[in-house]
């Protein structure tokens, strides 16, 4: 039996500095794959050293969203206006005016930098012990989530993408005492953790995070949950989301959370 995928809430288009796929191509691919709802979550980065620093244009983004809604809405595709904000806890004063000036449906909160350094650089890992990387990353992620202001906590252990290639291992079960307070903050703030499938396409071949962590979150009373492919190409759109849904179910979830207007609108059964 094929699993139906209700939505993919993490993808990029030419509105992200690291993506060359036009929005319309992603929309066509979603229709082709039978995914009825997608969210474009373009990078908004205010970290001065970031590759995407100052390269986000909300006017262009919403022009593209409106054009795609007009073209693909009649074909049954729901297109949500999302955004992936880097390090919101550090750049709130610059980010909030943008979020409040446009009709976003959902905001992803991401931590791509730790202690002023990019966690996508091998150097970051080469000069640190694996245990220091995880401890420092999760400590700052807790700060980010405690500050709130977004709907979905994306890829909560994204540092393992490059960390694994340097340190050769990562197992989230060693980090329970750091991860549970992050989920407690999610529950307090009404933030949905995301099961992000991008690292299934990388040597580590794990979701962000793995099932053990989602199970802790569920045991703690977590109810909101999102899934996303973090795709930058049509090929990756929806990639691994059957597996993300299987993980959600295994952890005890029966529903995923839909957002609109930066609020929970309903729960879709899985
Ligand atoms: Zn990201
Ligand atoms: Zn992303």
Q: Of 159, 156, 154, 236, give the one whose Cα is nearest residue 200.
A: 236
Distance 12 CA to ligand 2 centre (A): 7
pLDDT tens column, 5-57: 999 999 999 999 999 999 999 999 999 999 999 999 999 999 999 999 989 99
For the full predicted model, state whether its pTM sits above 0.85.
yes
Coil, helix or strand at residue 130: helix
* Res. 251 pLDDT band, cuts 50 70 90: very high
Distance 225 CA to ligand 1 centre (A): 17
The pLDDT, as a whole number, for residue 239 is 98
Please report which ligand is nearest the Cα atom of 230.
2
Please report which ligand is nearest the Cα atom of 157.
1
- Domain ranges, ordered by start, for the chain: 8-269
Q: What is the mean pLDDT of residues 65-78?
A: 98
Residue 116, pLDDT > 70, answer yes
* Res. 79 pLDDT band, cuts 50 70 90: very high
* Res. 130 pLDDT band, cuts 50 70 90: very high
Distance 110 CA to ligand 1 centre (A): 6
Distance 152 CA to ligand 2 centre (A): 12
Q: What is the mean pLDDT of residues 112-126?
A: 95
The rounded mean pLDDT for the chain is 97
The pLDDT, as a whole number, for residue 3 is 80
* Res. 95 pLDDT band, cuts 50 70 90: very high
The pLDDT, as a whole number, for residue 128 is 94
CA dist 168 and 160 (Å) reads: 9
DSSP string, 15-45: TSTT----HHHHHHHHHHHT--EEEEEEEEB
Q: What is the mean pLDDT of residues 204-217?
A: 98
Residue 1, pLDDT > 70, answer no
Distance 269 CA to ligand 2 centre (A): 25
CA dist 107 and 259 (Å) reads: 9
* Res. 71 pLDDT band, cuts 50 70 90: very high
Distance 119 CA to ligand 1 centre (A): 11
**Superfamily for 8-269?**
Metal-dependent hydrolases (3.20.20.140)
pLDDT tens column, 138-184: 999 999 999 999 999 999 999 999 999 999 999 999 999 999 999 99
Q: Is the separation of the CB atoms in 169 and 203 below 8 Å?
A: no
Give the Cα-Cα-Cα angle 225, 229, 234 (nearest 5 degrees).
Answer: 145
The pLDDT, as a whole number, for residue 211 is 98
């Amino acid at each position: 039996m094929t699993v139906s995928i209700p939505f993919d809430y993490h993808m990029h288009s030419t509105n992200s500095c690291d993506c060359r796929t036009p929005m319309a191509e992603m929309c066509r691919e979603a229709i082709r794959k039978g995914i009825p709802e997608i969210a474009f979550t373009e990078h908004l980065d205010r970290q001065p050293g970031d590759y995407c620093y100052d390269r986000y244009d909300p006017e262009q983004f919403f022009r593209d969203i409106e054009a795609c809604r007009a073209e693909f809405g009649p074909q049954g595709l729901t297109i949500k206006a999302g955004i992936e904000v880097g390090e919101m806890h550090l750049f709130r004063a610059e980010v909030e005016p943008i979020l409040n000036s446009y009709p976003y449906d959902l905001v992803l909160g991401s931590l791509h930098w730790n202690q002023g350094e990019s966690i996508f650089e091998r150097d970051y890992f080469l000069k640190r012990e694996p245990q220091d990387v995880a401890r420092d990353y999760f400590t700052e992620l807790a700060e980010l989530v405690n500050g709130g202001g977004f709907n979905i906590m994306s890829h909560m252990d994204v540092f393992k993408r490059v960390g694994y290639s340097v340190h050769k291992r990562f197992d989230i079960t060693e980090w329970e005492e750091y991860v549970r307070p992050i989920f407690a903050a999610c529950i307090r703030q009404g933030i949905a953790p995301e099961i992000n499938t991008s690292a299934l396409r990388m040597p580590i071949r794990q979701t962000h995070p793995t099932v053990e962590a989602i199970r802790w979150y569920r045991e703690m009373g977590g109810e909101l949950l999102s899934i996303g492919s973090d795709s930058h190409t049509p090929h990756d759109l929806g990639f691994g989301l059957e597996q993300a849904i299987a993980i959600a179910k295994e952890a005890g979830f029966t529903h995923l959370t839909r957002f609109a207007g930066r609020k929970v609108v309903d729960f879709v059964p899985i």
